[in-house]
Amino acid sequence: MYSVIEKVIFLQDIDVFKEVRIEDLTHLAVIAEEVRFLSGATLYETNDSADSLFLVIQGKIRLHRDDQEIGVVGNREAMGTWALFDNQPRVATATALEETEVLRITKEDFYDLLSDHVRIAEAVLRSLSRRLRSLTELVKPGL
Amino acid sequence: MKVRLFEKSIDLRPGELKRVAIMSAYIFVVVASYNVLKPMTRSLFVSNLGLEQLPVLYMVLALVAGVFVALYLRISRRLKLDLLIKSSTLFLIATLLGQRWLLSLQIDSPVLYYVLFIWASIYGVLTTTQFWLLTNYVFNVREAKRIFPILTASGLLGGILGGYCTRILVTVLGGTSNLAFFCVGLLSVAFVLIDQAWKNRDISLETARRGQASQDASRSVGLSGDMFASIRGSRHVLCLVAIVALTYMAVQIADFQFIAFASRQMSDTDSLTGFLGFWLSNLSIAALLFQVVFANTILQRFGVGMTILFLPVALALSSTWVFLGFGLTSILALKVGDGAFRHSINKVGIELLFLPVPTELKRKAKGFIDMFVDRFARGLAGLVLLVFYTGLGFTISEISLLVLGITIVWIGLAIVINKEYVNSFRLAIAKRRIDYDEIPVSIKDEATINSLLLSLASRNERQVVYALRILTSVQGVDLKPPLEPLLRHKSANVRYHTLQAVYAHKLKGLLPSVQPLIRDENTDVRREAVSFYVEFSEQAPETLIRKGLAADDRHLRGGTLQYVASQPHLAKHYITPEVLETFLQGDCSSRTEAAQALGHPGISNAKAYLRQLLQDPDQTVRQTAVASIGQIHAAEFLPDLVESLADRSLRKAARAALANLGEEILPELVATLSDQKVAPAVRMEIPRSLALLGTQESVEALLEKLDGADDTLRYRIIKALNRLRTNYSDLKFDTRVDRVLLEETKMYYQTLAYFHLAESTNSQQERDGRNLLQRSLQERLDDHLERIFRLLGLRYPPKDIYNAFAATTSATRSVRVNAVEFLDNTLSKDHKSLLLPVVDDLPIDQVLQKADGLIDVNVRTQKDLILDLLKGNDSWLQACALYQTWVCGLTEELRDEVVAAQQAKDAIVRETAGLVLERSANQADEA
């Protein structure tokens, strides 16, 4: 069982929360639920509705479509960030490669939180716009 | 019925007649009294001191009037408007009696006549300024545009009466000095009218006016370098200012010639008084006739360019005539030219030329003209007369050459400025730079109107609305063809403003096109459409209203309800409990209609219905009810409004409603802010609500509450003070701000010292813990810096300080350097020594050296740092510090403090203390 302050330490590394004040991360820490998956367990499957963000605390998760591997998510890495912002289904299946501990934030809890904490919403928007700008910069040279 | 017909004939809306009658009578008596005093003091001066003293008087007058206006403005900011105007009027009555007494003593001193002349000039400025100030409280902007011409005409009629009375009364009352009694009588009537006007004012305007008045005051206060620089930067404005200055000079010299002529014709004081009064009235009649008969035609036919040439050309021609043949006819031609053109087409022309100027610059330029150009030009005219008439011995007719020279330069400038006008205007419309609420005249110029009509075809909805709002005040153009298609525009906002323009222009022919809009989806459109339909339809209004309120179509019923509610005399009759119940029993849009209607005065039992609607399950209904409470100033709802601040969906409406209740609620708001039992969500909203009141008392209350406020509340209070500073620039922020600034800066330095310590002495092995504390301290530093700059914004121009703050936090070094340079030149010596190290690009060591004496230097080790943070009242930093004890392996040394922290109020602190003790115990076991 992790304390709030430990969860804050994990959450501060997630890109979309980089602009959130560290003190405000405590609110996110409260809604971040610890979940443990045994080796081989499936976190979600392709075309499932995307309703949560996951942050791996310890362990490894394989992302794949059928047998085709897309990538492996390890310690302190997040997956499903965009699930918080759109209603698209999962594009891959996530399977634990070993016993894995994750923090899960559900979309419902996340929006509840944003409606009460405008400052967090502002910071998340700043992160998203920063990411959008950097993508635009990448596209520019090819234009 | 007769009253309604009369109201319609002079374009008055229901409920306006009484206010218009009072204000018309007020300006009538005030101008009449001034037009008695003006010839009286002039004749006394010239008869007793001779013409030679007049140029000197003009110069003295310029100086004294300037000092007086500055003093008056200062006093006016401390008094409520009604008190100010009433006490000034009583003061003027007393001075009139004092003047009569002085004259009865038959003191033969030149000072007396100087004083009387100057006093009469101040009397003129003061009474008319006060009248227009009060007018702004009695009428709203839309009413003002329709009503001001009526008031101006009343003033002119007062002027005519005053002048003629002077001629008759100077004989009847037994001499010039007794005219003062007549003026006392007129001013006494004015005093009663002021009282009545204040009682009948539109109370809902007060909150808005406070901000406006404050801006007006700040506009008139002081001649800043910024003002000069802005005006110098615009050729257009510079030309306008020069034209205004030349106008004042030429007019003053022409006035001198007129008095000189009169004093030669009339040997004794009483005859001269009568002569001046008589001709003053004749000139007023000429001005009135010209304004009524020719002004519109000239503006429509010739446009701005030619319009502004009428006055200088008339003065140039009549001056030539005076030079060639000095006599009554030529000198009257000079004065008639001035009287007829200056206050009619020339004034309108100058206002139109000001239209394309950005609002802020326009305010500065007009403030500059009121404060400086007017008096400087008149004083300069005095100096010119002193040199040429007194010094070089020019005759009165030769002086005409001076006027001629001035008018030639003036004509040249008018031609130059006109060349740029149309393009500037088109650009201003495209950029929506013209503030339609500030257009003081009816636009009649063809080129200007064509630019506006072109904008109606724009694809940009906002531009169409913008042009419509300006066109609402345009006269003499057939707007039916361009407005008709806009009634079917897809945008409700465009339809709404089109209806307003259609109503303003009384375009009855558009009735068939308006009819479908009474069932429009949009509430505002429906209300305007019903309003127009009831007003201009052939059917009796009573029948239409009854049918509308009983209609099956809910849109038509709602539109009729809103229209009836907006007319107090109709609301009393038609909005019965039965009618309201039909809305209250309906769906949420019906209940919203009811809530909105209850925001108008005149509906019986409105408060009980509003209380019921506050509990409505629908959010929109509750929001509308809260807004309506503010509109009807229902102070008994104060606790409900305060409570609503905690509800995000009602917060905005509740804040506005609280502001509408006015400054009387300030004590209750302050008490709520101090009450620890009140929910934090409510308390945090109080500073912003206080800021909306816009009074010095709200500043005082907020400054007082800064002491002892926690960081979040402190930030909210400072932010509220910033809003007050920006929106109400006449408010005072005294040295108490400096004390808070010093405290804030000390906290910044202390936090910087912690940050430095956390950075420099930490081991590399535990990256997470170090990052946590450092990032938290960095965020605290950012907070302190923002608050420091916000506090500076209370003492220096807020915009400049905001820019400096943005530059200070820029990633580009050169931008930061410029910001430091700016602050170095702007801040006072004390502020500089305190704050420059904060923003300068110096290593932390050096910054802390400069802060020596301001902070506790005993914090030197990691252990000191943690102990200090644990002792502080920042619970998040306490939690970080606790975690740091484990990260740095200091848990055993600080065991007592960590154990004590398990009893802390804050849950995260308690949890972190437990975690640290548990982890340390585990480590010990493993070891």
Domains of chain A with CATH codes: 4-142 (2.60.120.10)
Selection from B756, B718, B751 nearest residue B736 by Cα: B718
Question: Which runs of consecutive H residues, i.e. helices, occur in B694-734?
Answer: 696-706, 711-727
Residue B216 lies in a domain: no
Find the range with the poorest average confidence among A33-37, B32-36, B201-205, B685-689: B201-205
Name the residue range of residue B376's domain.
222-268+300-428
What is chain B's mean pLDDT, rounded?
A: 83
Amino acid identity, position B885: T
Interchain contact, A5 vs B908, CB within 8 Å: yes
Could you tell me the pLDDT band of residue B203, with boundaries at 50, 70 and 90? low
Claim to verify: residue B42 and residue B119 sit in the same structural domain: yes
**Is the Cβ–Cβ distance between B32 and B162 less than 8 Å?**
yes
- In sequence order, the β-bridge partners of residue A95 are A42, A62
Question: In which residue are the tokens 């030429």 written?
Answer: B250
Interchain contact, A5 vs B915, CB within 8 Å: yes
Residue B126 lies in a domain: yes
Interface test with A, best of B719, B766, B883, B919 (most A CBs within 10 A): B883
User: How many angstroms separate the CA atoms of B44 and A141, rounded?
Assistant: 84
Interchain contact, A5 vs B879, CB within 8 Å: yes
pLDDT tens readout for residues B487-538: 999 999 999 999 999 988 888 889 999 999 988 988 889 999 999 988 888 8
Residue B9 pLDDT: 61
Q: How far is the alpha carbon of B522 from chain A, nearest alpha carbon, in Å?
A: 29
- In sequence order, the β-bridge partners of residue A55 are A78, A103
Residue B341 lies in a domain: yes
Claim to verify: residue B184 and residue B240 sit in the same structural domain: no
Amino acid identity, position A49: S
Could you tell me the pLDDT band of residue A3, with boundaries at 50, 70 and 90? very high
Provide the domain count of chain B: 6
**Is the Cβ–Cβ distance between B866 and B894 less than 8 Å?**
yes
Residue B212 pLDDT: 47
Claim to verify: residue B913 and residue B804 sit in the same structural domain: no
For residue B515, the domain's CATH number is 1.25.10.10
Residues 624-663 of B with CB under 8 A from A: 648
Claim to verify: residue B151 and residue B205 sit in the same structural domain: yes
For residue B605, what are its two tokens?
A: 């039992």
Pairing of strands A100-106, A52-58: antiparallel
pLDDT tens readout for residues B380-390: 999 998 898 88
Kindly tell me if the per-residue pLDDT of B217 is higher than 50.
no
Claim to verify: residue B822 and residue B883 sit in the same structural domain: no
What interhelical angle do B235-265 and B17-49 show, nearest 10? 60
Residues of A in contact with B769 (CB under 8 A): 9
Given B772, B914, B915, which is nearest A8 (Cβ)?
Answer: B772
Selection from B556, B623, B602, B615 nearest residue B583 by Cα: B556
- Given B857, B885, B902, which residue is the final one in a domain? B857
Residue B738 lies in a domain: yes
Residue B562 lies in a domain: no
Claim to verify: residue B135 and residue B187 sit in the same structural domain: yes
Interchain contact, B772 vs A21, CB within 8 Å: no
**Is the Cβ–Cβ distance between B563 and B531 less than 8 Å?**
yes
Claim to verify: residue B116 and residue B203 sit in the same structural domain: yes
Contacts of B134 (CB under 8 A, 6+ apart): B23, B26, B81, B85, B194, B197, B198, B201
Residue B824 lies in a domain: yes
For residue B193, the domain's CATH number is 1.20.1250
For residue B919, the domain's CATH number is 1.25.10
Please tell me the pTM assigned to this model. 0.65
Q: In chain B, what percentage of residues exceed pLDDT 70?
A: 89
Kindly tell me if the per-residue pLDDT of B765 is higher than 50.
no
- Given B682, B697, B727, which residue is the final one in a domain? B727
Q: How far is the alpha carbon of A115 from chain B, nearest alpha carbon, in Å?
A: 9
Question: Does B913 or B161 have the greater pLDDT score?
Answer: B913
Residue B671 pLDDT: 92
Element (DSSP H or E) covering residue B79:
none
Kindly tell me if the per-residue pLDDT of A33 is higher than 70.
yes
Claim to verify: residue B831 and residue B754 sit in the same structural domain: yes
Kindly tell me if the per-residue pLDDT of A56 is higher than 90.
yes
Question: In which residue are the tokens 């088109």 written?
Answer: B426
The question of ipTM being above 0.90 is answered as no
B911 touches chain A (CB under 8 A): yes
Could you tell me the pLDDT band of residue A62, with boundaries at 50, 70 and 90? very high
Interchain contact, B912 vs A9, CB within 8 Å: no
Residue B375 lies in a domain: yes
- Given B834, B857, B880, which residue is the final one in a domain? B857
- In sequence order, the β-bridge partners of residue B588 are none
Residue B567 lies in a domain: no
Residues of B in contact with A12 (CB under 8 A): 771-772, 775
Most confident of the following: A27-31, B602-606, B728-732: A27-31
Claim to verify: residue B775 and residue B818 sit in the same structural domain: yes
Claim to verify: residue B97 and residue B154 sit in the same structural domain: yes
Claim to verify: residue B164 and residue B207 sit in the same structural domain: yes
Mean pLDDT on B552-569: 88
Claim to verify: residue B174 and residue B110 sit in the same structural domain: yes
Kindly tell me if the per-residue pLDDT of B14 is higher than 70.
no
Residue B223 pLDDT: 46
Kindly tell me if the per-residue pLDDT of B90 is higher than 50.
yes
Strand ranges for B613-755 from DSSP E: none
B876 touches chain A (CB under 8 A): yes
pLDDT tens readout for residues B421-458: 766 776 666 666 665 555 555 566 677 778 788 888 88
Kindly tell me if the per-residue pLDDT of B367 is higher than 90.
no
Q: How many CB pairs under 8 A join A and B?
A: 35
